[in-house]
Amino acid sequence: MKRPLSLFSLLFLLTGCTGSSSEEAVDYKLLASENQLTAEFAEIASGDHEEVDFSRYVFLAENDEEFNKAFSTLNYQEEIPDNNFSSNSVLIVALYESGCQAELMEIFREKEDPRLHVSVEEPDGDCKTIANPRSFIISLPKTETNDMEEVVLIDDGEESVISFN
């Protein structure tokens, strides 16, 4: 009798520990990423906001015109990436990284929080004393960006809330 009870208890504990996470992954496509960030892009991204963190910017483009204007200020070496604006928006995230190249790790939402959380990480190394620009051009379904006003940027564990222009 002890054996079935122990097996049942173990199964109950295992299923109890696999409850749903507070994070929901967001489907996205990284269209481009380069070491580019210009004063012109910073001006477009910061808009009329008085308080701006001058090391991190986000810009949401809902159509070709907005995207082309923002993209032209970034001075990318590659051509403008294609995006289907009938179903997708483009989020441009720009920041200053260390000399180690930052990577886009994930985009998610936390339950009860309408903001997107964008996580980037830099590898460990001796390159943390140099500040280089880095921008990510990300395609997201419009269902994820409707009525969104802010993004939580998680840069090596440090969270910054950044408003759109």
pLDDT at site 127: 64
53 vs 159, higher pLDDT? 159
Q: In this predicted model, what pLDDT tens digit does every residue of 135-163 receive, in sequence order?
A: 899 999 999 998 788 899 888 788 888 88
* Residue 67 reports pLDDT greater than 50: yes
Measured between alpha carbons, how far is 140 from 28 in angstroms, rounded to an integer? Answer: 5
pLDDT band of 100, cuts 50, 70, 90: confident
User: What pTM did the predictor assign?
Assistant: 0.77
pLDDT for the residue numbered 65: 95
CA distance 67 to 45: 12
